[in-house]
A and B are shown apart, each in its own frame.
Chain A
Amino acid sequence: MSLPERQTDIGPPHYEKFLPPIVKKNYGKWAYHEVLTPGTMVHVAEGGDKLYTVRVGSPRILSTDTIREICDLAEKYCDGYLRFTTRNNVEFLLSDQKKVDPLLAELKAKKYSVGGIGPRISNIVHTQGWVHCHSACTDASGLVKAIMDELHDYFTTKALPNKVRLAVACCVNMCGAVHCSDIAVVAIHRKVPVIDDVNVGKMCEIPTTVASCPTSAIRPNPKTKSITINEEKCMYCGNCFTVCPPIEIHNPEQDGVAIVVGGKVGSLRTNPKFSKLAIPYIPNEPPRWPSTVAAIKNILDVYAANAKKHERVGEWIERVGWEDFFKLTGIPFTFQHIDDFTFMRDTMRNSAAFKY
């Protein structure tokens, strides 16, 4: 079988090829938009043209079959144009208002989840997990599915004080940049890795392995041609395992997830914020992680009941104080909550004023 001739360094196709005519015509000339329903919005151009967007959720892992089905819908209602959002939703772009309701009807019949626009949750940004990554301490897709099932109404209908951005990372590498989400799950190890001396000697470059440790817990062990780990310094980050797989970090009964809250990336009102630790550990409970799901639901409910309109989770917590956050949510405060890594100076309370 002969193959077409390969080309290199051509880069991605130019986006103009994929813009609907109404977008091309009004590029840079949008005047305003209105959120019509939790899953639809209209953008109005300076000249009066109207572009309707219908947003639907996606599990991010998509089969080619489903993508073809989405293409069929785009051809039927949107002259073949569609886009994906940065949070992995699918957006149908319509220039003809009359087609919006029939599209919504067909989406409903085909059981798509329409929503995610306005002050509610959008899709959960997440990573690969057991589906594809060697580092994973949990499965991201399964957690996301279980959480989105529980919070589904907050995607399709119910409103919240503001947007709530959720994320799941399946290890502390955080390909999903969980470090700035309103509520996020990050999977963690809790035990010092177990060293297979024979294979470390055979398979790993010792200096690289030593250098990989952020807390300098690793020392070469010339006797075994392997390494030793100082248990008092190890933070279970798994960096050494990434560099040297015979240093086994996985521990199915002790691995699990932590929940962090209060981050944001937008500069609206208050500066972007890192997420902070709310719950240091919940065990892995596949297939549906009920304790993790319940913990997230609890935090979301307490936020919805207590935040002012337009306050993000982190803004609400900063207004009432972290002491109130722990009181209102009933989450126990532990040694793990006190920073003893890089940010201690910034996080201790240097003041005699606080609440109970």
Chain B
Amino acid sequence: MGGKYKTPMLDELEKGPWPSFVTEIKKAAKRTQMADDELGQVEKSYVTKRGYWKHGGIVGVLGYGGGVIGRYSSLPDEFPGIAHFHTVRLNQPSGFFYTAEALRMIMDIWDKYGSGLTNMHGSTGDLVLLGTTTENLEPLFAEYSSRGWDLGGSGSAMRTPSCCVGQARCEWACIDTMNICNEVTQYYQDQLHRPSFPYKFKIKVAGCACDCVAAIARADLSIIGTWKDNIRIDQAEVKKYADAGMNIQAEIIDMCPTDCMSYDGKTMKINDVQCNRCMHCIAKMTKALKQGKVKGATLLVGSKAPIVVGSLLSWVVVPFIELKAPFDNLKDLADKMIEWWDDNAKPRERIGELIEVKGMRPFLEAIEMPPVPQQVREPRKDPFFFWSESDFN
């Protein structure tokens, strides 16, 4: 198989040092007609400068309302191999850790039923299997689920949660991101597989404010690790950084956003009540500075991409919450948020948009959180505010 199409445009993308997706499609095209026809259609797109995919179509596995994205070529006669080219989302293990054995098993089954192409990984986090037919979905699901692998979310549902590597390999993880991610994924299996929400709901977990999983930018509920007490300073290690040539004044002290640090050439001091825990100094002097010991997370809500009314970044709702397995306090809060959203949102309204429409007050009341200054950058600027009966008591 393979070689059905001449691909002069795509061949240009096999040149250069970065690994080429064209080479990957060609490898699979040697074995499957699907991948070969995919190659042909993408080449055509490169010539005509437009895509040839049709949206939607009801596909999936019995009992699930998501996890498969229906995809059909709009040129099925020209490219019959990709008349169906559905995406299967396999829920990734937390932290994207694998063994060669497990990956080989996944690939062997995929070669039997699909195009031989994958995305490692999709932007939500799933292991994405790119391109199979409707008939193959049930057998594929039986093969994977019997071996312990389940589908991820799609549509108006809980989406596959994801997290940074956390305590598995990072000294800055204030919370056990992988365990939290795994626990909430298991807790929301029903909501993940059977879309019943107004729209999508995404949860992402980052161990600290570096936010290596971009939780603040692309999760309805962003969980970001933090601490409450004082930064621990090892003065001997500070000296070693200075001796090794670090300009501590310029690179650390002057870049601290709250101006709460000082260094006199011998001793580093931090006025911890002023520190806003931005992580800059710790990230730059990881041997010398450690977060405090009272660790937990900040919960933020609302981020989304620009569609429909403009992008949002998540904002603080719960400044600090201790998170210990099995994380019942987190699940309880998430349940309350989702219930309020589900009760109040129009179809295709994300939770952040709903809060903008209804205001923070009903949301905070629904999740039983008091208003606190940490939730805002500054108080409102206008005198047009509402009072409710409960304020008069």
Tell me whether A86 and B213 are in contact (CB under 8 A): yes
Query: Which residues 133-173 of A have a CB within 8 angstroms of B?
Result: 133-136, 139, 141-142, 144-146, 148-149, 152, 155, 172-173
A148 to B16, CA, bound (A): 9
Q: How large is the interface on A (under 10, 10 to 19, 20 to 34, 35 or more residues)?
A: 35 or more
Tell me whether A84 and B120 are in contact (CB under 8 A): yes
Tell me whether B171 and A5 are in contact (CB under 8 A): no
A284 to B91, CA, bound (A): 34
Considering the complex of A and B, which 9 residue pairs feature the smallest CB-CB distances, nearest first? A149-B16, A4-B146, A71-B100, A148-B18, A130-B45, A252-B49, A28-B167, A267-B209, A18-B97
The minimal Cβ–Cβ distance linking B197 to chain A, given in whole angstroms, is: 17
In the complex, B242 has a CB within 8 A of chain A = no
In the complex, A341 has a CB within 8 A of chain B = yes
Tell me whether B100 and A82 are in contact (CB under 8 A): yes
In the complex, B6 has a CB within 8 A of chain A = no
* 9-residue interface stretch from B277-285, B327-335, B357-365, B367-375: B277-285
Tell me whether B189 and A63 are in contact (CB under 8 A): no
A342 to B210, CA, bound (A): 28
5 further A-B contacts with Cβ under 8 Å, apart from A15-B95, A132-B130, are A3-B142, A6-B138, A245-B54, A250-B50, A272-B313
Tell me whether A80 and B99 are in contact (CB under 8 A): yes
- B contact residues vs A (CB 8 Å cutoff): 9-10, 12-13, 15-22, 24-25, 27-28, 35, 38, 42, 45-55, 61, 63-64, 71, 85, 87, 91-104, 107, 110-111, 116-121, 123, 130-131, 138-139, 141-143, 145-150, 162, 164-165, 167-171, 173, 176, 178, 182, 185-186, 189-190, 193, 209-218, 250-251, 255-257, 278-280, 283-284, 286-287, 305-311, 313
In the complex, A332 has a CB within 8 A of chain B = no
Binary contact readout A249-280 vs B (1 if CB under 8 angstroms, 0 otherwise):
01011010000000101111110101000000
In the complex, A61 has a CB within 8 A of chain B = yes
Tell me whether B46 and A139 are in contact (CB under 8 A): yes
In the complex, A96 has a CB within 8 A of chain B = no
Tell me whether B97 and A15 are in contact (CB under 8 A): yes
A108 to B146, CA, bound (A): 38
Binary contact readout A85-114 vs B (1 if CB under 8 angstroms, 0 otherwise):
110101001000000000000000001110
Partner of B48, one of A72, A172, A252: A252
A7 to B97, CA, bound (A): 23
Tell me whether B218 and A177 are in contact (CB under 8 A): yes
Contacts A113-B17, A267-B278; is A62 near B211 (CB within 8 Å)?
A: no
